Amino acid sequence: MTASALLSLVQWMSPAFPTGAFAYSHGLEQAISAGEVRDEVGLRLWLSDILSHGAGWNDAVLLARGLAGQDADDLDATARALAASAERLRETLDQGTAFARAQAQMMGGEDPEEIALPVAVAQAARALDLPREEIIAVFLHGFASNLVSCAVRFVPLGQAQGQRVLAALHDDISRISARAAHAGLDDLAGAAFRADLGSMLHETLDVRIFKT
């Protein structure tokens, strides 16, 4: 592992990388509006469930399989099928395509076709030759960081509270990454039903700051 490869990965998962992630709340805006997430403790529990039992886990498995060289088209189709709502589908495709486009522009390549985020990241990260578990952990940390940022703006929470929530998720992220690194498609599963329903209800929320 080289420092340069690790820095490339951190750059891609940074809020500064142009995927537009700041505009998506993964249904969290609906949960906050409904009073289901209203403080630091509620946010930590909500995000822990999404990471362990929702899109966090499934994206981690898809990323792991992509890093292992499984067919990208099949993984992309699976990612689309796992999206629980129209907004979730738009979220992963918009961010994945923006990620792949930014990669292509950096490397002088052609604009990509529409692609789900974990599959796009897997295609780029395979060339880094970093440990699979480490790539998944940084990916999930970026995902959680974005949602914490949403809550800091919309609950609202203080910056210190937001950082405490993110720090409290580190053990979850490490555990999930270790499992996902050796998981297969048969291990895909989702049980974050309130989060899924929230993403559906968000489609008709009267006043929205976030796209999802």
- How confident is the model at residue 1, as a pLDDT? 57
Average pLDDT, the chain: 94
What global pTM score does this model have? 0.95
Q: Which residue has the tokens 């052609």?
A: 110
**Token output for 199:** 């993403």
In a domain, 74, yes or no: yes
- Is the model's pLDDT at 60 over the cut of 90? yes
* Stretch 147-163: mean pLDDT: 94
Print burial letters for 133-155: b (CB count within 10 Å at least 16), e (below 16).
Answer: bbbbbbbbbbbbbbbbbbbbbbb
- How confident is the model at residue 200, as a pLDDT? 94
Q: What is the 8-class DSSP label of residue 209? A: S
Q: What is the 8-class DSSP label of residue 202? A: G
In a domain, 122, yes or no: yes
In a domain, 170, yes or no: yes
- How confident is the model at residue 8, as a pLDDT? 93
In a domain, 17, yes or no: no
In a domain, 178, yes or no: yes
SS3 content of the chain, % helix, strand, coil (to 5): 70, 0, 30
Q: What angle do CA 81, 31, 86 make, to 5 degrees?
A: 25
In a domain, 52, yes or no: yes
Distance between CA atoms of residues 92 and 56, nearest Å:
12
Confidence category of residue 182, pLDDT binned at 50, 70, 90: very high
- How confident is the model at residue 96, as a pLDDT? 97
Name the nearest CA neighbour of 170 among 190, 140, 126, 210: 140
* Stretch 4-31: mean pLDDT: 92
Residues 6+ apart with CB under 8 A from 35: none
In a domain, 6, yes or no: no
- How confident is the model at residue 87, as a pLDDT? 96
- How confident is the model at residue 174, as a pLDDT? 98
Domain at 168, CATH number: 1.10.4190.10
- Judged by average pLDDT, the poorest of 18-22, 140-144, 173-177 is 18-22
Q: What angle do CA 45, 50, 51 make, to 5 degrees?
A: 95
- Judged by average pLDDT, the poorest of 62-71, 100-109, 139-148 is 100-109
In a domain, 108, yes or no: yes
Q: Each residue of 19-52: pLDDT tens digit?
A: 999 999 999 999 999 999 999 999 999 999 999 9
Distance between CA atoms of residues 86 and 102, nearest Å:
24
- The count of structural domains within the chain is 1
- Is the model's pLDDT at 153 over the cut of 70? yes
Q: Which domain holds residue 104?
A: 24-204
Q: Each residue of 67-119: pLDDT tens digit?
A: 999 999 999 999 999 999 999 999 999 999 999 999 889 877 677 899 999 99
